Structure 1
Amino acid sequence: MSSVSATYRATDGSPVLALSLCGHPLSYPNFLSKQRQEFGPNPTAKNDMSNGVASNGLQHHSGMKSTSLTAPKSDQEKLLYMFERQKIVDLLCAYAYTLDCTMMDLKIAHDWANLFTDDCLLTYPFGTHNGKAGLADFGMAAESRFTRMLHIASNFVVEFESDTVAHARYTCFATHGSHEWDLSKHFMEAGYYYSSFRREPTADGFSTWKFSHLTLDMVWTQGESLGLNEPLNVHLTKSSIQPILTESSP
């Protein structure tokens, strides 16, 4: 795990970019190429994103394949698009609520980790983690310092790369309670999630969408974070919760 992530914002007084340049297809400035083709004054704007598919499912728009999800035409295809898009939005909401539920029982972090593919890649301000193995520990090393949380996701933009790969950009507003009983003591932060997904087979022969990539870029914070977004604090707190999370999951 990297000690400093791509979205870590230094607090030493140096200038801070309004948005991190994380390389996701729907992040700044990558999203502008496709958006300008559809809405801008120059409909022939050159797509400056290269082809290629990364192991975590990221693929640029120039490599998109025309399918019933990327370019729905018939009424049936449009209904399928709406259904699959809602399944992804439901996954995003499940991420937020399951993460909040870990404040009731840290072992629920295993359920949260199951929302990701085995080869997932996650980048938060406090660090980067590759793979589902150890993901529950990684998440709780950061979040277990709080007593309650509320994660709100909204402003969903979902695009399908193919029938099995999709991307999303959406906003994050998170409140973290820092006191056992005083609900007025909290830390707040907000920013953008940039996520990618793969359709994975399930045991019953069907399939489900899972996160293959997630980057969280915080735009502002307010209050005392208890060191949440400081990279080294992940290493300092992880050992103290390891025994809890390595017990059998519920």
Structure 2
Amino acid sequence: MLHSGRQAAPAESRLAALLDREEISGLVDRYVVGLDTAQDPAQDIEWYRRIFTEDVRLSFPIGERRGLDGLAEFQRRARLTWQSTLHVSANHVVDLDGDRAAVRVQILGTHVEYGVPTAGLEHATRFDMGGYYDVTAVRGPDGWRIDDLSFTVVWTSGAGRPNADYSAAG
């Protein structure tokens, strides 16, 4: 018995929940790491298919996407707007409900203008942001996949500017 008077869930079900949370958190981590390497040709539709459902909905300040078609190019163009980027996610809170999960993830990102040295970056040449992802994940025949991801910006800092040739419309 636990101190609250409730009986602990069987070890098998606790282990299954732990493994589900780990798999879902891993999907988010893979995507966040992929933000900084989206220009890599290996990040094609098959790469994204291991993270997202076919009809995923993605919502960002730079635009909204539905489905996997064109997603690799959309992410590549967003990445190439900057000379370099670094995104970090933390505090993955995963609430399981059968074959669905609601996830909240904190995210920090730094974006560096083209043509500047990356050592001793000045505030004027980078754009930093902090916010969070709200994610819905679903379990399917191939395991967990992200079905919906929405990014909310909480704060921004810096005067860095994206490459003028960028267009979210692609």
**TM-score range relative to shorter protein:** 0.7 to 0.9
TM-score, reference length from structure 1: 0.56
2:131 and 2:80 mapped to 1: Cα distance? 21
Higher deviation after alignment, 132-141 or 186-195:
132-141
**Are the structure 2 counterparts of residues 152 and 129 from structure 1 closer, same or farther at C-alpha, using a change threshold of 3 Å?**
same
Q: For 1:152 and 1:109, locate their aligned partners in 2 and report how far apart those are by CA, in whole Å.
A: 22
Cα gap change, 1:150 to 1:227, in 2 (>3 Å): closer
Does residue 212 in structure 1 map to residue 147 in structure 2?
A: yes
Give the deviation of 1:139 after TM superposition.
Answer: 2.0
Structure-1 separation of matches of 2:107 and 2:44: 19
- Alignment partner of 1:101: what SS? coil
Q: Give the 4+ runs in structure 1 shifted more than 4 A.
A: none
1:125 to 57, 61, 74: 61
Could you tell me which runs of 5 or more consecutive residues in structure 1 were left unpaired when the two chains were aligned. Answer: 1-71, 202-206, 239-250
CA contact (8 A) 1:97 1:151 kept: yes
Q: Flag structure 2 segments of 5+ consecutive residues without an equivalent.
A: 1-7
Structure 2 CA distance for partners of 1:86 and 1:78, relative to 1, 3 Å: same
Q: Report the identity percentage.
A: 27
Distance 2:74 2:34 in 1: 15
1:194 matched to 2:128? The reply is no
Q: In the aligned structure 1, how far is the partner of 2:46 from the partner of 2:83?
A: 19
Letter in 2 for 1:88: I
Report how many aligned residue pairs link the two structures: 155
Partner of 2:4: none
Q: Write the mapping of 1:106-117 to structure 2, written as runs, cut at 5 A.
A: 108=43, 110=45, 113-114=48-49, 115-117=51-53
- For the structure 1 residues 109 and 153, does the alpha-carbon distance in structure 2 shift closer, same or farther, using more than 3 Å as the test? farther
Structure with greater strand percent? 2
Alpha-carbon displacement from aligned partner over 1:147-172 (angstroms, at most 9, x marks no partner): 2211111111101121x211100101
CA-to-aligned-CA distance 1:120-174 (integer Å, 9 cap, x gap):
1010011111111111122223221112211111111101121x21110010101
CA contact (8 A) 1:99 1:109 kept: no
